[in-house]
Amino acid sequence: MSFTRIARRDLPELEAVLWELRHDATGARLVWLDRAEENKTFCIGFPTRPWDDTGVFHILEHSVLCGSTHYPVREPFVELMKSSLNTFLNAMTYPDKTIYPVSSRDERDLHNLMRVYLDAVFHPLLLENPAIFAQEGWHYELDGDRVTCKGVVFNEMKGVFSAPDALLEYEADRRLFPDTCYRWVSGGDPAHIPELSWEGFAAAHRQWYNAGNALIFLDGALDLDAALAILDEALPAGSAG
């Protein structure tokens, strides 16, 4: 077996058993909430602790879902929204982690979602296509005789920074947590996003998005062996943290 069972815990309040496993080759951690839940969930997450206000992990979250080695379509997320039986499909950047959760009541559909998301996080086209970084992060555009910055995350965070309560929250975090990752704007400060280079962006993916850093979560009444086989095939050998 490619995974070793580390711990088992009964959770009577949830009518569930929590299993903890470790992938032997990479050290990736997995927890499974084993319960009679028809809506099955898969999530993979990575610790992503920022060291500046460039929003590198927010841009990565957007960019890994812009095509991958085995699914080289421009917007796999959009294609899944149109064709999958998913009940939930998203990605989120937090101040200290990034997660990629999906849910479906159909187990075959969940397996397909797992394969797409696993290929996206470990083998994204962003590593060989700087245009993805320019599109999702930032780039220069000519607006008449003026040079302006544009980009999906850049524009999104300009909107966020137009809200006074967001500015107050960010300033409070800076003052309360001056020596931690929480002092930085994980989503990116528009004044600093253009300081991020494609080289630094790609290096952040290589450093943080490796299997040894991954925490994988499964929930519901599912075939664990089938899920583990998909994970064993997808987790890159030699990428232990």
For the annotated catalytic residues, the residue numbers are 61, 136
**The token pair that represents 65 in the structure block:** 């879902």
Query: Which of 206-223 are b and which e, b meaning 16 or more Cβ less than 10 Å from the residue's Cβ?
Result: eebbbbbbbebbbbbebe
Alpha helical stretches, state H, the chain: 56-63, 76-83, 107-122, 130-136, 152-160, 164-176, 198-208, 224-234
Task: Work out the end-to-end distance of the chain between its first and last CA atoms, rounded to an integer number of angstroms.
Answer: 21
CA distance 78 to 76: 5
Q: Report the alpha-carbon distance of residue 27 to residue 188 in Å, rounded.
A: 30
Kindly report the number of other CB atoms within 10 A of residue 189's CB atom.
Answer: 18
Query: Which H helix or E strand runs over 216?
Result: strand 215-219
Q: What is residue 235's DSSP assignment?
A: S
